[in-house]
Structure 1
Amino acid sequence: MDQLHLVEILASYRRLILVDENPAGGSLHRDLLALLQSGKLKAEYQAVLIDKPFSEHAPRTEQLAASGFSLESLLAKLF
């Protein structure tokens, strides 16, 4: 998605929260930071990004929970 389209979609929001389990290549987080720093978007911004790669030895839900992506962990970080 191009930055102009992002600005059109998000311009009316006062708070933006990004929860991203895959912040590598093509990162929306990076695009949002650039728009906020340039002043094209004016909003309070919070990102919760996964902090470690997944292990191949557990179900996906367990891997997400271990990375702080359970519902309880996300709510604690956001509110």
Structure 2
Amino acid sequence: MLDAIAQWWDGVELWLAQLPFPFQFALVMAVLLPAALGVARLIDRVVDQAAGRFNPVPKVPPAVEPEKVDASTPS
């Protein structure tokens, strides 16, 4: 099974190496860009979770609103 995957990968690598540079660049960007964005998003979430555990935000009680006056009643 591993040998079949290695042979397939070698074929893909050879095919990619024989393409002209603009096509190589376009294919690499089409694969690498989404992968890099996914990894960046994952790292961002992990860092946010770690920061939240080590430095929790204190809970602030909601501000008390002044009593609302009904504008329809004459004063």
Normalising by structure 2, report the TM-score: 0.20
Structure whose alpha-carbon radius of gyration is higher = 2
Using CA pairs under 8 Å that are at least 6 residues apart, name the structure with larger relative contact order, 1 or 2. Answer: 1
Greater helix percent: which structure? 2
Greater share of residues in strand: 1
What TM-score results when the alignment is normalised by the length of structure 1? 0.19
